[in-house]
Chain A
Amino acid sequence: MEIRFLSCAVFVCSAAYFTFAQADTAPGDVEINAISIDKPLTDVAGDPANGKKIFINRKQGNCLACHANSDMKDQLFHGEVGPSLDGAGTRWQEDHLRTILVNAKAVFGDQTVMPGFYSLEVGADVRKDLIGKTILQAQDIEDLVAYLSTLK
């Protein structure tokens, strides 16, 4: 009896969660507490394999421009502007990695050169076709968080 009640509650709960969180959190609605964003930006769990692709892709994350990463030794040319991301998943919790990716300034301060990948706090004279757009999409951020968490 008790068990049945519990599973029922879980069912109701997850159904409610689905209808509530169907839309991704918009860049302006992301809540950052200190350096934490504990709520995922989407309700689809991050896919680390896709996160790895976004990390490499020059048109998407292009993270290798600034970071070395031993997990992708096959890729030529790793940047040195930021620190190596080896062990990033050990140094950081997921909710902090999410903040670094959404808006690195919230973690490292205004002077950081790391772009905010899901933020509308951008520079002057943004290219016209990019006005109001973020560098990455909400799901890309979740995929990257999942991928970075594997870097132990």
Chain B
Amino acid sequence: MHFTNNKTLFTLIGIALCVTASATPVDEVLVIDEELEMTTRVQAVEGHPISEIYSGWHYRTPETRALEADSFANPGMLGVEQGEEIWHTVEGSEGKSCASCHDDAAVSMKGVGANYPKWDEKTQRPKNIEAQINSCRVENMGAEPYKFDKGGQKPLTAYIKNQSLGMPVELDLSEGEMQSWWEKGKETYYLRTGQLNLSCASCHEQNHGKHIRADHLSQGNVNGFPTYRLKQNKLISLHNRFRGCIRDTRAEFPDAFSDVLMGLEVYTTWRGTGLSVETPAVRQ
């Protein structure tokens, strides 16, 4: 056994990294149903640590990418259709459906999902689509709020976001205290958690493009949520994904819609500024 000095060591590591750096995002264009060209790579917004932003689509297998390019084959579209049914279903003490007030979602909800989370004056915190749905259910319909991931929460969120398919994600951080929630989210993003001592950045910023065992690491962008995960055969909400990634560091994970995860949603959404809304994206 010989001890090689650090310089040689780092050269060796450098060579190893060069050899394995081939697993970069694919150089292809996502066109849905041969007509809607999506922005899946974009110059990063100012202040972003990565210069070019890629949708998770670029890191998936050819088969998975093809599923997303064809809305008939995309299994997530079943959830969207379910969401459409719920949109027209009367519920609650007021005898109303979403459509009673918002009419045709293709018109009233177009572009809405691309700009969430938004500042909510009433609660003095950011609201995501899930929170807005619950607020309409409670205040405008006299219905029960959906519990996390339950009832119509995922399909209805997917339906509303799908009305913005292809539109660029953009947040208004000047509303209310959005900026301070962005800061909180950023702290969470770089906080190392769990026994494995990893942060979001350890995987999605420092190592995107590389494989971690069988998984090809993306930049962890959120523009496709709720996404359809082939592994789990269902729509997966964003906060479920957040919790899964934190759990994998062997840490306790925060509640869905908690301040910590709302901050993280604001911050990660900002990181994907300019990417098209892809809901329902197809992932492995």
Contact = CB atoms under 8 A, between A and B. Distances in A.
Interface of A: 58, 62, 64-66, 68, 76-81, 83-84, 89-94, 96, 113, 115-116, 121-128, 130, 133, 135, 149
B20 to A, nearest CB: 4
25 contacts: A64-B213, A65-B213, A66-B212, A78-B211, A79-B210, A79-B212, A80-B21, A80-B210, A80-B212, A81-B210, A81-B211, A81-B217, A83-B13, A89-B1, A96-B3, A113-B203, A123-B195, A123-B198, A124-B192, A124-B193, A124-B251, A126-B193, A130-B195, A130-B250, A133-B195
B-side interface mostly: loop
Give the 8 A-B residue pairs with the shortest CB-CB distance, closest first.
A83-B16, A123-B197, A80-B20, A80-B210, A123-B192, A77-B214, A123-B193, A65-B213
Contacts of A149: 1
A48 to B, nearest CB: 14
Contacts of B21: 80
Interface string B192-232: 11111111001100110011111001000000000000000
A125 B1 contact: no
B106 interface: no
A126 B193 CA distance: 7
B61 to A, nearest CB: 13
A91 B13 CA distance: 11
A56 B222 CA distance: 32
A121 to B, nearest CB: 8
B191 interface: yes
B149 to A, nearest CB: 21
Interface string B10-21: 001100110111
Contacts of A89: 1
A62 B1 CA distance: 25
Given A90-B1, A124-B191, A84 B16 contact: yes
Contacts of A65: 212-213
B150 interface: no
A135 B212 CA distance: 18
Interface string B244-258: 001001111100000
Interface of B: 1-4, 8-9, 12-13, 16-17, 19-21, 23, 191-199, 202-203, 206-207, 210-214, 217, 246, 249-253
Contacts of B193: 123-126
Nearest to B20: A80
Given A90-B2, A127-B250, A115 B196 contact: yes
Contacts of A124: 191-194, 251
Nearest to B194: A123
A99 to B, nearest CB: 12
Contacts of B195: 115, 122-123, 126-127, 130, 133, 135
A76 B197 contact: no
A64 B206 CA distance: 18
A81 B207 contact: yes
Contacts of A77: 211, 213-214
Given A93-B3, A96-B3, A80 B198 contact: no
A62 B198 CA distance: 15
A122 B194 contact: yes
Contacts of A93: 1-3
Given A80-B23, A93-B2, A125-B246, 15 more contacts: A76-B214, A79-B211, A80-B20, A81-B203, A81-B207, A84-B19, A84-B20, A94-B1, A113-B202, A121-B197, A122-B196, A123-B191, A123-B194, A125-B194, A133-B195
Contacts of B253: 125
A125 B192 CA distance: 9
A43 B169 CA distance: 59
Contacts of B198: 113, 115, 123
